[in-house]
Amino acid sequence: MSDDIEKLLAEVNNTTPSVGGSSKAQPPARKAKAEVESSGGAGGRLAFAVVSAVVFGVIGFVVGIFVPFFLGGFDTGVGASIGAFLTALVAGPPRWFSS
């Protein structure tokens, strides 16, 4: 059993670069901060905020129809859409939305 472990450790040491040594494989280059900001832009943030406002506005409207409080479906829909829009505008889109 210890022979198997030693073989696995030797295989792992051969495939991964050592901490102090130089490796042949170069790590992927990172984008400059200005390049990342210009590629995302405010367009993705605004689009995500609008989509979120529409989706949560509709959900708020439907919930407002069935909840027996003083507010109606229109009021809860508008409140949900404004809240979702502002939250999404501040937080920004997730990574999967932008790509």
CA end-to-end span of the chain, whole Å?
47
Encoding tokens for residue 73? 């479906």
The stretch 87-96 carries a mean pLDDT of 88
Tokens 């989509």 belong to 51
How would residue 85 be classed by pLDDT, with cut points 50, 70 and 90? very high
- Ramachandran area for residue 18 (φ above 0: left; ψ -120 to 50: alpha; else beta): beta
Q: What tens digit of pLDDT does each residue of 9-59 get?
A: 888 888 766 555 555 555 556 655 545 454 455 568 898 999 999 999 999
Element (H, E) at 93: none
How far apart CA 28 and CA 77 sit, in angstroms, is: 46
| CA-wise closest residue to 65 among 81, 52, 77, 56 | 77
